[in-house]
Amino acid sequence: MEKYKIYQLTTEDLEFIYRACHQLIEKHDSVETDIFARDCAVYAMELSRNLREAVLDFKNTTHSYAAFLIHGLPFDIENIQTPSTWDCNWHHSETFTYEVIHSLISCLFGEIFGWSTQENGRFMRYVVPIQGDAYEQLGSSSSVELDWHTEEAFHPTPADYVSLMCYRNSEQAATSLCHVDEIVRQLDEKILDILFSRSFCIAPDTSHHVKENKSNHWDIDIKKYCMSAEAKYADTPISVLYGNREWPFMRADLPYMAVFDGNEDAAMALEQFKLVVNQSLIDVCLTEGQIMLIDNRRAVHGRRQFSAKYDNYGRWLKRINIIRDLRALASEFNQLCDRRIV
């Protein structure tokens, strides 16, 4: 059985994508504005019916696909170098056309948003290997495996989908995936009962810390960190599984999750959970131009260790956070910002 849904773009799909992309480029010079995110959601409604139907079925039906993989987009960045840092200019990107296409397709799944404690709320995040981060639990690492997780597992309202677009991957670094259904079917009822209980805690990962957000393009506003993710959520009791017992959601982050208050039964259940996930991961090696939407409520993802190139032509992805209903984040929006930022 397929572990992720594959969609091949047709000539008709591409015609609709290019038309909408051209219209957005005429109005905007950056994806990093609230009005772009709003316009992008509107223009996404004009993409081909076949693509919209496929996405709708993925979003609204019961299935065990960890991700929706789109391929068939003509792609050429031969004369554009991989950045050496995530801290790139917000405006007039060399790859702006592809950023708009990525955003358009992502908006079929929901609304674009950002985190104020992560690159100052940037919508379009760059994922590139950085030598100084090679052994860290960050997307910019390479010499160690990026452990499996759901994005912002510590937060009560994480992204519904994580949208990845591959710009380069000559190193063939694999993205690892595991759907919650694959996990649940291997655990007994006693373990599941514990995993559904608020017996665990998950700390924010280091990408939300001030030191990982230093930028040459803007000044970090320390006020945004006065009630940082670490301070607000690190010691909040949560469940690993939640929602409908027959169709559960999941939050997990291998390096940052622990049992709450020394609960021994929870510790045993968590070890079983980790064991099953480790044994059930599958690998997907993205290629240039592919876009993969990972179901962040129903699947964990990570990245295998790889030998990074630091020659300006190494691995390069871009990432967008997507929420199905922006109202779910309304009470969380950072009041110090004028954008859709939590």
Structure tokens given for 228? 């940082």
Helices (H) and strands (E) in the chain, counts: 8, 15
CA 132 vs CA 128, 143, 269: distances in Å: 12, 11, 35
CA 263 vs CA 135, 235, 269, 270: distances in Å: 31, 14, 10, 10
Phi, psi of 206 (to 5 degrees): -70, -15
- Exposure class string for 180-217: b at 16+ Cβ within 10 A, else e: bbbbbeebeeebbebbbbebbbbbbbebbeeebbeeee
**61 Cβ neighbours under 8 A, 6+ residues apart:** none
3-state SS of 86-98 is: CCCCCCCCCCHHH
32/298 Cα distance (integer angstroms) = 28
Structure tokens given for 232? 């607000």
Asked whether residue 151 is marked as a ligand-binding residue, the answer is yes
CA 157 vs CA 41, 118, 224: distances in Å: 20, 15, 18
Structure tokens given for 325? 């209903």
- Smallest CA-to-CA distance from 130 within 212, 210, 246 is with 212
Q: Looking at the DSSP assignment, which residues form a beta bridge with residue 259?
A: 200
Q: Per DSSP, which regions of 140-265 are E strands? A: 146-149, 161-168, 175-179, 200-202, 241-242, 249-250, 257-259
Structure tokens given for 19? 């038309």
Binding-site residues for Fe cation: 149, 151
Binding-site residues: 149, 151
